[in-house]
Every structure is written in C-alpha cells, then in structure tokens.
Amino acid sequence: MSQRTAIVIGAGIAGLAAARALAARGTQVTVLERTQKAVGASIRNFGMIIPFGQSDGKYYERAILSRQIWKQVCNEAGIWYHEAGSLQLAYSQEEWQVLQEVNEAYRHRNYELLSPDETINKSDAVVREGLKGSLYSKDEIIVDPRVAIGAIPLFLTEKYNVEFLWGKAVTDICYPAVYAGKEQFNADEIYVCSGADFETLYPELYSQLPITRCKLQMLRMAAQPGGWRMGPMLCSGLSLIHYNSFKVAGSLAQLTKKLEAEYPEYLKWGIHVMASQNQAGELTIGDSHEYGLTPDPFDKSFINDLILAYLDKFARFKNNHVIETWNGVYPKLTNGEIDVILKPENGVTVVNGLGGAGMTFSFGLLEQLIGERR
C-alpha cells in the first residue's frame, strides 16, 4: 500500500501543528507557504503557552495537551523554552478578592496564592508598593516565537521528511488538486491553515461565519544587563477581565465596574498588559486589541504609551529601552468560540479562528483533530 499523502497550506503555528500531527502518524506531508518564511501572527506574539487563561473543560485540556507537545518538540529540536510559570498580580482589594476566588475554584490546578513577600521572591521585577499578593501558576511555558516558528520546519523535515515549499501562494483548491498559480499539487488530504487570510480560499464560507480580525500592538525591550532574568511571565489587573478562566470569580463583575471607571481608555482599545522574556533576555510587552475586517495598518503611539504606563505600575526592569514595536493581525470569532473546523469539500479541512491563542491551542487542537480521524 502506498504511503498516504497530505498538503498543509500555511506554515504558521496551526500549519506546523497539522504537519506534525499528520507526519507523526506516517503521512507524507508537503507544506505550502506563500511567503519565504513565516511572518504572520505566529511570530508576532509573546511566545506564551497559557493554560492559566482557560476555563476548565475542553479548552483547558487542549492547552495542557499543547504544553506537552511543545515540550516534546522543543526538547527533540533543541529549541529554547522556559517553564517560567506566571504571576497574576493584584494591586487593589477587588483584584485580590478575585484571585482568592479563582484559587478556590481551581484548587485542582498547579496554583499558589502568594503574599507580597512571596511574590517578590518569585520575581524581583514586581513593584512592591501597593501589592496585595499574586496567584502563581506553574503551567505556563515561554518560547521565542521568532526562533521557534523558524526552527520547527527544519525539525519536521529532519525527523519526518516533511517537505516545505516556500513562496507558493495557493490560489485554488479542487480536491485532490491544490493550485499555486500554474503549479498543481495533489494529495489524499488537504488542510487549510491560512490564518487572517479569509479572501483567497473559500471566502464564501468565511463570509457566513461570526469572524473578524484583531490587530494588536506590542513592544520589545532590550536584553537585560548581566543576564538578569525576570522569572515568571507577569500580568496585572486588566488581564483579569481578559481571560475566560477568571469568570469563575463571583466578584469579577465588581472589579470590572471599577476598571471601567478607572481605565476607560484602556478598555476602549482592548489593552491588558503582560510581559515575558526570551532566551536573549529581551522583554516582550503588550498588548492592545482593535477589531474589524480591515484593520488600520498604522500603529498608534498613544496605545504604546498607555501600555508602558500601565506596565510601570506593576513591573520595573534593569533596562527599559524599547528596541522594537510592531503589530500583528489574527482571526477572531465573535461568538466566544476558539476554533473553526470546516469541511468545504471531500478531503479538505479548514482550521482557523484560534484568535490570540494559536500558540496555546494549535498543537493540542490538531493532535486531537487528526488523532480522531486515524
């Protein structure tokens, strides 16, 4: 019997996850990517794998599965990662109340409710003044997305003989054929992981979905002197109204009203502030959220100013020099779901809609999806 074949369209994290899950099950995989390397949302993020942000159930379980696969891939490929964990900081009584309720609701998870002194012992980047305490999670992993997303194709090629064809913009699919201009490729299975590109392949299906785009702004600070490390990834009050996991707290509504009154401009631009550190010691800071099918391509300097001003309330670093700013655009479902799985024709699967959680969910989602079909 001849080896089963598959084509994956897109070399972002979802496409790489599909290629890995297929190849690990003995399928000969070809990945077609329209650019010469991945340059989209998969390299424009914190590099955080965040089970912490997910409510109990399928999304939390998927995030934990992704975490396991990330570790396996990084260990086998020699890709740097840091099991840094995360510190959710509280600087008001309302924030602290939410964290206590969250800790109680998730007693089965790897959480610790920390005092101010215990928090500072975890990270001396944390601002001590006004600190009520923190919730520490051991589960979060940090990678450098620019490095990891570039290294995984080499690993998949070496381990599984996955073929990557760069600079191949797929313009049409008619199963079993995939067309990149005048070139034709054929396979038994086709996976479309095209991210924020809704217009090229199956646009009529996307037009019927509750889906939009989200533009985020982020910054990078210089490598910290003397090899200084901040420890866990850091986030503060505004993150409590961003992630679904915190909705278990009965007092969240009270905190939301307080933040709406104190930070209306932040909520208008979807700002919540987090920080992570890569292998080189550089700090990634963000982010904002602007929604619409056609995002404004221009960054707004006042948004970056707001991000840095809020960051200063809870974190201080040895070197605050900003060396880069950028924006990223990803697809976002408006109905609260975090994935789109479509079968537009026989043999073709569309995987999209992971929102800002592609790094957290992709490996787990594609492992589950492809594993169910084998």
Residue 185 lies in a domain: yes
Q: Which is it for the CA torsion 91, 93, 94, 98, positive or negative?
A: positive
Q: Are residues 196 and 222 in the same domain?
A: no
- Residue 167 domain flag: yes
> What angle, rounded to 10 degrees, do the helices at 58-77 and 358-372 form?
100
Does residue 111 fall inside a structural domain? yes
- Please name the residue ranges forming H helices in the chain: 13-23, 58-77, 93-105, 116-122, 145-160, 203-206, 252-262, 264-268, 301-314, 358-372
CB neighbours of residue 338 within 10 Å: 20
pTM of the model: 0.96
Same structural domain for residues 347 and 319? no
Q: Is residue 353 part of a domain?
A: yes
Is residue 66, in this structure, part of any structural domain at all? no
Phi, psi of 153 (to 5 degrees): -60, -40
Question: Residue 372 — pLDDT band, cuts 50, 70, 90?
Answer: confident
Q: Does the pLDDT of residue 318 top 70, yes or no? A: yes
* Local confidence band at 1 (pLDDT 50, 70, 90 cut-offs): low
Q: Is the pLDDT of residue 373 over 80?
A: no
Question: Could you tell me if 159 and 300 lie in one domain?
Answer: no
Same domain membership, residue 266 and residue 173: no
User: Do both 302 and 221 map to the same domain?
Assistant: yes
159 and 294 share one domain: no
Q: Is residue 95 part of a domain?
A: yes
Report whether pLDDT(113) > 70. yes
Contact status, residue 273 vs residue 236, Cβ threshold 8 Å: yes
pLDDT tens sequence across 229-270 = 999 999 999 999 999 999 999 999 999 999 999 999 999 999
pLDDT of residue 187 exceeding 80, the answer is yes
Lowest model confidence (mean pLDDT) among 95-104, 298-307, 331-340: 331-340
Give how many domains the chain has, as a whole number.
2
Name the residue type at position 313: K
Give pLDDT tens digits for 275-284.
999 999 999 9
Q: Report pLDDT for 2.
A: 82
Q: For residue 40, tell me if it sits in a domain.
A: yes
- List, for residues 194-215, the tens digit of each pLDDT value: 999 999 999 999 999 999 999 9
CA atoms within 13 A on the CB side of 231: 18
Is the domain of 171 the same as that of 316? no
Residue 262 tokens read as 């104190």
78 domain residue, yes or no: no
What's the sign of the alpha-carbon dihedral 224, 228, 232, 236?
negative
Residue 351 has pLDDT above 90, yes or no: yes
Give pLDDT, residue 374: 64
The predicted-structure confidence for 116-129, as pLDDT tens digits, reads as follows: 999 999 999 999 99
Residue 294 has pLDDT above 90, yes or no: yes
Specify the CATH number for the domain of residue 241: 3.30.9.10
| Residue 39 confidence (pLDDT) | 96
Range in 1-10, 65-74, 168-177 with the lowest mean pLDDT: 1-10
Does 12 share its domain with 134?
no
342 and 319, same domain (yes or no) = no
Domain that holds residue 38: 5-46+146-209+338-372
204 and 222, same domain (yes or no): no
Do residue 315 and residue 248 come from a single domain?
A: yes
**155-194 CB burial, b ≥16 within 10 A, e <16:** bbbeebebebeeebebeebeebebebeeeebebebbbbbb
Contact 193, 351 (CB under 8 A): yes
Domain identity same for 233 and 123: yes
Check residue 327 and give its pLDDT: 97
Instruction: Give the β-pairing of 133-137 and 86-90.
Output: antiparallel
Instruction: Tell me what pLDDT residue 300 has.
Output: 97
* Token pair listed for 345: 């024709």
Instruction: Check which CATH number belongs to the domain holding 189 and give it.
Output: 3.50.50.60
